[in-house]
Structures are given as structure tokens and as C-alpha cells.
Amino acid sequence: MFRIESAKAHCDVPCGIYDPIVAQIAALSVIRMIDLMIDLEKSDNLEYINTISRHISVKESEAEKVKHEIRIIWGDFIKPPHIEKYPQIHSIVHNIMMLGSANRQSISKDKACELLEEVNKFAEIFWQIKGVSTKKVNANYLPNKEIVIPV
């Protein structure tokens, strides 16, 4: 019907819609779930078991979301010239992958905060590549941790 003989694309989606904010929010969610778990009064009743199970489930899915979102940007957007200019990008991504897994395996606020720090480093480089200035602000919601955003 259309008689298209060939089509070409350089990535899955237009590069303009990539944004590390999803990974940053997911990392904040990991911290928040850990805070909520720490604040729960331990009990054997079903209400506690239900609540802690839900917090764990969200913490694990958000940690995996961090990994997924960073992998997409790293794999689809980051190109050899970016790697030449920012050679630390590979180690930052590797750290994010390792910390994402560590946060699924345990309840460590320190590890959760490290995850957010690495995601922020990645975000800073991402926006530099796009030629956009950034600033650090505290998120407007709990856990009120610092994130890197475009100006």
C-alpha cells in the first residue's frame, strides 16, 4: 500500500525524550521504602507482614527500574564520542548496576544513598552531553535527597 522500500533509524526512540529523572525518582523511592521499613514497629501480626512485604516489593521493583532506565540511556544514547569525552561513564553505569542489585538484596540506607549519588553522576554527564546546564536541588518529596536537574 505504501511501497516503502527501506527505512533507517539510529535508535529505538528519538533521543530528545531520554531523561534520567525516572531513574532518579526510582532511586529516591528505594531510599523512601527503606526509611519506611526502618520506621515500622516489628510485629508478628498480619498487618505488619503485609506492610513490610509491600515495602520490600516496591523497593525491589524500583531498584530494578533504576537499572533498566540507566541501561536504556547508556545503551541507546551514549555513543563512542561521549565515551571518549566522559570515560568514567562505564564505571558509573557499572556501579549503578551493582548498587541496584545490592539494594534488592538488602536493606541498607547507605547503599540506597550511594545508588542515588551514582545516578546523579550519570544525570550530570547526560545533561552535559546534551549541552544543558544542571543544578542540584533537594527533591520536593520524601526523602528530600539531592538530585541533579537541568536548568
The domain that contains 97 carries what CATH number?
A: 1.20.120.400
Residue 54: closest CA among 74, 40, 70, 71: 40
> Does residue 137 have a pLDDT over 90?
yes
Question: Is residue 6 situated within a structural domain?
Answer: no
Q: What angle do CA 96, 102, 107 make, to 5 degrees?
A: 125
Confidence of residue 136 (pLDDT cuts 50, 70, 90): very high
Our count of domains for the chain comes to 1
Q: In this predicted model, what pLDDT tens digit does every residue of 84-133 receive, in sequence order? A: 999 999 999 999 999 999 999 999 999 999 999 999 999 999 999 999 99
Question: Is residue 124 situated within a structural domain?
Answer: yes
* Residues present in the chain in total: 151
Mean pLDDT of 52-64: 98
Taking a C-beta distance cutoff of 8 angstroms, is the pair 136, 148 a contact? yes
Looking at residue 83, what is its pLDDT? 97
Question: Is residue 81 situated within a structural domain?
Answer: yes
What is the overall mean pLDDT for the chain?
A: 93
Residue 123: closest CA among 112, 136, 110: 136
> Does residue 9 have a pLDDT over 70?
no
The parent domain of residue 97 ranges over: 17-150
Mean pLDDT of 60-78: 96
Question: Is residue 8 situated within a structural domain?
Answer: no
Question: Is residue 1 situated within a structural domain?
Answer: no
Looking at residue 10, what is its pLDDT? 54
Question: Is residue 2 situated within a structural domain?
Answer: no
Question: Is residue 11 situated within a structural domain?
Answer: no
Question: Is residue 10 situated within a structural domain?
Answer: no
